[in-house]
C-alpha cells in the first residue's frame, strides 16, 4: 500500500512572546514543531510499516524551507520519501488556496490512503483535509481516535471517531482521507542512534511552483478567497499585581483563582 501523510509544521505557541512596550506578538525565533495531530498520522503509518514493511510512506508538507531538518528526521524514522512544497509565491495562501496547491500536487500521485491530522495548532480551522477531499473527489473523515491496524487494508479501513461523548466505529472505503486527532496517542518512533546523521537527501524533494505550474492568480494572497480586512493585537487590561507566599494560604488563593477562571 502507498500511504501519503499530509503534515504541517506549526509555530510552537509556547514560544510566542509578547512585547509589553509595543503591545505586539513577537514571532521571531519561534520554533517550529510537527503539528501534534499530524504527528499521530505519521506515527500510525510508521507503526503499520513496522508490522508490514511492504507499505510505502510519503510525507508531504507545505511551508518554508526551514522545515527541512524536521522533515529529514521523519525520513530517518523510516518514512520512505518526503516532499516539501515551498515557494515564496505561496505566501499568504488561505486554506482554500493551500488546498488547491496541495491537491494539484496530489492529483497525479498514486496512493491508497491519505493520513493527516484533524486540526492544526495555529489555524485550527480543520478546512484543509475536507477541501482536499472535495477537490480530489475523495471521502474524508475527521476526529479519528483509532485506526484498526489489523483491519487496515487496501480497500477498507476500520476507524473509531470521537463524536461528542460517543465513540463511533466506521468502516471506510479507501482511498480516502483519514484525519486523526492527537488523542489517538500514536507515538512517533525514536530515531535510531546509527541513523541520527543519516544522509536522506536522495529521498527528499523540494517542490516549487515552477514544477507545479499554477497561475499566480490561483495561489498566495491573490488566489485566496479569505480577504483580511484588518488585523490587530488584543490589548490586555493591566491588572493589579497580587503576590502570594508559597504556603497553604497562597496555594488556596491560586487554586481559587484558577477555578474561577475555569482552568481547574
- Binding interface with another protein (CB under 8 A): 17, 19-20, 26, 31, 69-70, 73, 188, 190-193, 196-197, 243, 246
CA 115, CA 106: separation in Å to the nearest integer?
13
Shortest CA distance to 161 belongs to which of 148, 176, 175? Answer: 148
CA 240, CA 242: separation in Å to the nearest integer?
6
Shortest CA distance to 2 belongs to which of 154, 165, 171? Answer: 154
Residue corresponding to grid cell 510552537? 12
Residue with Cβ nearer another protein (64 or 168)? 64
CA 61, CA 96: separation in Å to the nearest integer?
16
Give the contacts of 260 (CB within 8 A, at least 6 positions apart).
none
- Closest distance to another protein from the beta carbon of 245 (Å): 8
Residue with Cβ nearer another protein (19 or 134)? 19
- Closest distance to another protein from the beta carbon of 243 (Å): 6
- Closest distance to another protein from the beta carbon of 252 (Å): 18
- Closest distance to another protein from the beta carbon of 88 (Å): 22
Residue with Cβ nearer another protein (75 or 177)? 75
Residue with Cβ nearer another protein (190 or 255)? 190
Amino acid at each position: 500500500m502507498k500511504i501519503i501523510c499530509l503534515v504541517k509544521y506549526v509555530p510552537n505557541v509556547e514560544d510566542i512572546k509578547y512585547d509589553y512596550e509595543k503591545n505586539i506578538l513577537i514571532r521571531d525565533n519561534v520554533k517550529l514543531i510537527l503539528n501534534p495531530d499530524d504527528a499521530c498520522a505519521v506515527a500510525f503509518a510508521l507503526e503499520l510499516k513496522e508490522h508490514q514493511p511492504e507499505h510505502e510512506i510519503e510525507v508531504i508538507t507545505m511551508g518554508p524551507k526551514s522545515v527541512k531538518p524536521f522533515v529529514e528526521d521523519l525520513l530517518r524514522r523510516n518514512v520512505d520519501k518526503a516532499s516539501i512544497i515551498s515557494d515564496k509565491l505561496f505566501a499568504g495562501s488561505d486554506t482554500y488556496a493551500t488546498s488547491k496547491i496541495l491537491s494539484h500536487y496530489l492529483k497525479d500521485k498514486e496512493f491508497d490512503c491519505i493520513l493527516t491530522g484533524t486540526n492544526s495548532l495555529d489555524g485550527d480551522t480543520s478546512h484543509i483535509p475536507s477541501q482536499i477531499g472535495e477537490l480530489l473527489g475523495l471521502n474524508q473523515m475527521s476526529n479519528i481516535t483509532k485506526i484498526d491496524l489489523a483491519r487496515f487494508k487496501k480497500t477498507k479501513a476500520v476507524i473509531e471517531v470521537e463524536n461528542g461523548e460517543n465513540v463511533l466505529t466506521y468502516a471506510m472505503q479507501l482511498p480516502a482521507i483519514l484525519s486523526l486527532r492527537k488523542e489517538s496517542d500514536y507515538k512517533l518512533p525514536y530515531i535510531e542512534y546509527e541513523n541520527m546523521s543519516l544522509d536522506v537527501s536522495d529521498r527528499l524533494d523540494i517542490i516549487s511552483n515552477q514544477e507545479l505550474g499554477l497561475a499566480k492568480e490561483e495561489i498566495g494572497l491573490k488566489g485566496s478567497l479569505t480577504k483580511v480586512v484588518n488585523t490587530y493585537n488584543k490589548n490586555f487590561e493591566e491588572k493589579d499585581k497580587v503576590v502570594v507566599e508559597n504556603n497553604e494560604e497562597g496555594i488556596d488563593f491560586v487554586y481559587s483563582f484558577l477555578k474561577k477562571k475555569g482552568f481547574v
